[in-house]
Amino acid sequence: SFVAAWLFVRPLMGALLECPTMASLPRLMARADFATRTGPRRHYMRVTLDFGEAGMTAHAYPDQGSGVLSSCVAADALAVIPADAQIAPGDLVECLWLKGR
């Protein structure tokens, strides 16, 4: 429900309130420091981001379960993992920026 709220409810509220900054989430590209594989649906992983000289790195929380609220609060972004994808460390992933909310 956390991801659904950010993807659907937040933009809807932004449109209803005529607040363009709420209408969409900024998108960033970062290098994954994790490995994952998805099934037939897109997956959104909670990540923290490091901004270093070599660019941005996304660090996934070890427990991505929907009941783990601490990672929802602390996450910098949601890494968008496409359906039927395999991500290896060093791969570029699209991230939806959550901070500044």
Q: Please state, for a pLDDT cut of 70, what percent of the chain lies above it.
A: 98
The answer to the question of residue 17 being in a domain is no
Tokens 């993992």 label which residue?
81
Kindly tell me if the per-residue pLDDT of 101 is higher than 70. Answer: no
Question: Which stretch of DSSP H or E encloses residue 15?
Answer: helix 10-16
- pLDDT band, very low/low/confident/very high, at 92 (cuts 50, 70, 90): very high
Q: How many angstroms separate the CA atoms of 29 and 96, rounded? A: 9
Q: Which of 92, 76, 32, 28 is nearest to 57 (CA)?
A: 32
Q: Which of 33, 41, 50 is nearest to 88 (CA)?
A: 33
The answer to the question of residue 1 being in a domain is no
The answer to the question of residue 84 being in a domain is yes
Residues found in the chain: 101
Single pTM value for the model:
0.83
Residue ranges making up the domain that contains 43:
25-97
**CATH code at 66?**
2.40.340.10
The answer to the question of residue 13 being in a domain is no
pLDDT digit string, tens, across residues 34-78: 999 999 999 999 999 999 888 999 999 988 777 777 777 889 999
Q: How many angstroms separate the CA atoms of 96 and 43, rounded? A: 12
CA distances from 10 to 37, 57, 76 (A): 28, 26, 16
If one counts the domains in the chain, the total is 1
